[in-house]
Structures are given as C-alpha cells and as structure tokens.
Amino acid sequence: MLNFDEQRFLRIQSGAIALQSRLETVIVSSLSAGAENIFFLGTGGAAILMQPAAQLLQRRSRFPTFIDMPAELVLAGSAQLTDKSIVVMPSLSGTTKESVALLSRLKEIGATVITLVGHQETPLGKGGDHVFVNFAEDDTSCESFYLQSLFIALAILNHRDEIENHAEIVSQLSRMPALLLEVKRAYEPKAEAFAKVLAASDYHIITGAGNVWPEAFYYGMCILEEMQWIRTRPVHASDFFHGTLELVEKGVSVILFKGEDAARPLAERVQNFAPGYTDKLTVLDTAEFELPGVSADVRALVSPVLMATVLERISAHLEVLRNHPLTTRRYYKRVAY
C-alpha cells in the first residue's frame, strides 16, 4: 500500500482496543457514584469524531448525553454541566488550547474528566481525572478515537441494561484492527481512482447521514480543507434537500458517504436524486467492504470507522496526485489567531 506502515497501524488500533476494559471500569464507577449525564467536549476534528458515540447514546439510552464546544462553554457555561457530569475530552496532541482552557473550569465545577490523548506529558495528558493514552498521528487517529468513544457509549448502555449482547459486540470489535487492515488492502486498487475525482475539482458537496455524517463533515473540513486547501460544502443528507440541492448542476461534484445504520435511506435519497442533475456523483459505501464474522448490528456501529480507514487510503493517493503533503499548512498552528 502507498506510503503505509501496516505494523504501525495495527499497533495503534490495537492500543485503542486495549483501553476498552479500563474505559468500562471508569464509566461503571462513575455511574455507580451517581453520575447524571455525560458531555463529549472535544475541539475541531476530535470533537467531530465523538459524534457517533454521542448519537448512539441519544438514540438508544435515556441517560442524558450532550455534545458541545469547549470554546463556547468557557464563555457561556451550561446548566447541565455539574459535579455529577462525566466529561470526555479527546485531543490527539493533548494541547488543544480551547480544551485546555475549559479544563480548569471543569475542575472548579467538580465534573469527572476523562481525557483521550496521544501524549501523556501534556496539559490534557496530565489534567484528566482518568487519562487514556494511545499514541497516534493524523492518519491513524480517526479509527482510534471512534473506537474509544464507542467503548464509552457501549459501557453506559450495558450498565443501564439498554443493550443486548454487549460481550459479543466487544468481542467482535476486538478483531477490528486486523479486519480494518484487510479493508485497506482490498480497497487500495480503487483508492487512486477516488483520489482523482477529488483532485479534479476545487469544490465538492460532501454528504451523508446517520453515524457516517460526522465522517463526511470531518473529511471535508479537516482533510480536504485543512490539509489540501480544497473548498467543500459538507451537508447532512437530510438538509441536502433544504437548500444545497439548488447548487447541483452539471459539473458539480457530489460526494456521498453511505453507512449501514438506520439512516441509510436518507443517503439513498441523495443517490437517487443527484444523477439526474450532475454528472459527478461519487459514492463511498461501507456495505461494499468485507468484514468476515462481524454481525450486521456491529457493522452498523463501525460504519464511520470503516469510512475513515478507507478515506485514509484515498488521502494517501490524493496528496501524491496534487503534490500537496497532508502536513502542509499556511495558518493552522503557524500564525497567531
């Protein structure tokens, strides 16, 4: 595979899997101690990666679940954020300034803070009540964060008897590192063709629904815009028909992400509409990826993980096609803002 270290990938994703037992222990302990809600409080891309887990809880549990922006909470606060709150703060660097700024306020409030970081010796690596460290870099962090947050959501559901077959689900998830590697290998011959579609236009409408919508948002904002300087319009597949459809015409690129959860029909609606008005519809469908031994229910849970792992292969080819390394920045962490 192009510019890819298989053993490094396996080591990082296996590291995320290895955190499951301790994550569950911390969650159960917090719930037993009287926790009344959970907040997922990341910044930027890390925040987006928490959305599938938050949505899973909001759809399947009566346990109050919130997702908010640290930068806004520092200024405005939240009546729901109390000493009975569990707060999950992801940050690959462990230094994200908006999240660090909120940390001291969380200490004052008395919330239980769980930090998910890539580096221990950082403000968030040292500042959480419970710190989970799994080294990763930009090209491997999505799967790691998706899996860790999924384990947190599953632990809550299981403790509250709101999910069946928890042990079997966790068992299947434990096989994901090797399965994801095989998905990457199988998709590699197609990755360059998809990358050429992205390289051929300086503007893309990117859409999806359900738990892959956050990955559509993430890929547009954090990869194509930040790392490739390609303009995008991420829009939820439902909202697509409340404004964005008017931008669709011949020559306009529409990129559709299709997952396998209950929201799949919303993506299919876009897929049925777009070809009548543009000659540039491109679909990435997780149902096409083989996961031997994984149930339909678990496939639905890991659709964003699958999407992320394939998009990494596409991005590897895209940076070569455009002669634009994914690490190149003009402003991000380079100038004052």
The pLDDT tens digits for 150-160 are 999 999 999 99
d(CA 113, CA 127) in angstroms, rounded, equals: 8
Residue 145 host element (H or E): helix 141-159
Tell me, what's the pLDDT at 109?
A: 97
Tell me, what's the pLDDT at 254?
A: 98
Strand intervals (E) in the chain: 37-40, 65-67, 85-91, 112-117, 130-133, 203-208, 231-236, 253-258, 281-285
- Cβ-Cβ contacts under 8 Å for 39 (sequence gap 6 or more): 66, 67, 68, 78, 80, 81, 85, 86, 87, 88, 111
The pLDDT tens digits for 63-102 are 999 999 999 999 999 999 999 999 999 999 999 999 999 9
pLDDT range class, residue 332, cuts 50, 70, 90 = very high
- Stretch 264-275: mean pLDDT: 98
With the C-alpha atoms ordered 141, 335, 314, 185, is the resulting torsion angle positive or negative? negative
Residue 34 has φ and ψ, to the nearest 5°, of: 105, 15
Domain spanning 6-173 has what CATH number?
3.40.50.10490
Tell me, what's the pLDDT at 73?
A: 97
Q: Hey, which residues does 288 pair with through a beta bridge?
A: none
The pLDDT tens digits for 275-303 are 999 999 999 999 999 999 999 999 999 99
CB 48 within 8 A of CB 222: yes
Structure tokens at 105: 């306020």
Q: Within 10 A of 22 (CB to CB), how many other CB atoms are there?
A: 12
- Cβ-Cβ contacts under 8 Å for 57 (sequence gap 6 or more): 38, 63, 65, 153, 156, 157
CATH 3.40.50.10490 placement within the chain: 6-173, 176-321
pLDDT range class, residue 329, cuts 50, 70, 90 = very high
The pLDDT tens digits for 213-226 are 999 999 999 999 99
The pLDDT tens digits for 100-143 are 999 999 999 999 999 999 999 999 999 999 999 999 999 999 99
d(CA 246, CA 38) in angstroms, rounded, equals: 38
The pLDDT tens digits for 15-67 are 999 999 999 999 999 999 999 999 999 999 999 999 999 999 999 999 999 99
Q: What b-and-e string marks burial along 212-250, b requiring 16 or more CB atoms within 10 Å of the CB?
A: bbbbbbbbbbbbbebbbebebbbbbbeebeeebbeebee
Closest Cα partner for 244 from 198, 277, 201? 277
Q: Residue 265, CB half-sphere, CA atoms under 13 Å: how many?
A: 1
The pLDDT tens digits for 179-212 are 999 999 999 999 999 999 999 999 999 999 999 9
Position of tokens 């194509």? 224
**What CATH number does domain 176-321 carry, 3.40.50.740, 3.40.50.10490, 3.30.70.100, 1.10.10.10?**
3.40.50.10490
Grouping H, G, I as helix, E, B as strand and the rest as coil, residue 90 is strand
